[in-house]
Amino acid sequence: MQLSAEGIQAEFDARTGLLDGFVVTDEGREVAPLHRAPWVGTGEEMPEDAAPLMATLGGDFFCAPFAESEGDSPLHGWPPNSTWSIVDREDHRLLAELDRPVSGARLAKELTLRDGHPFVYQCHTFHGGQGRVTVSNHANVSVGNGALIRTSPKLRWETPKTPQESDPAMGRSGLI
């Protein structure tokens, strides 16, 4: 599902809540910083026990709980592993709701693009539920020539000390 405003476009995949296809046009140049896993779109079959998000891995997705599971949910919870229903949509804005609860709460996602702004404005809102849950926007970025990345203030940034895939022949980790 395509969203667009002057100088910016993005796509939303309701199968896993994935923000992808993010492209900003700057002085006639297209900048597309989001990365996809090398197997996405190749037809490579995922292992039976792979979480649904692995088939579309890339872009930016919301995790709750982050790096954990809740009940029978796959890693990173239901937000990147379950379908989302579109509640409202305009050319530059989308409101979607996760089809499964997170800690008993309904989860809403709002994506907004603004003319001349090189950003996707995201808002995730929990309605109801109980308890605490770790959350994260999980961006997959590829900037082969380097880049300055600016975000809102964060409480914590973390990168594993060792690659999750350590076989260089697999070519799937920037930490090797």
Q: What would the pLDDT profile of 31-57 be if each residue is shown by its tens digit?
A: 898 999 888 889 888 888 888 888 888
Average pLDDT of the residues in 128-134: 89
pLDDT number for residue 80: 93
d(CA 94, CA 81): 19
| Residue 108 and residue 95 in contact, taking contact as beta carbons nearer than 8 Å | yes
- Tell me which amino acid residue 13 is: D
Backbone angles phi, psi at 56, to 5 degrees: -120, 15
pLDDT in tens, 78-116: 999 999 999 999 999 999 999 999 999 999 999 999 999
By percentage, how much of the chain surpasses pLDDT 70?
Answer: 87
Lowest mean pLDDT among 18-22, 40-44, 163-167: 163-167
- Per-residue tokens: 9: 């476009």
Looking at residue 175, what is its pLDDT?
47
Position 157, amino acid: W
Residue 5 DSSP SS3: strand
pLDDT of the residue at 138 = 85
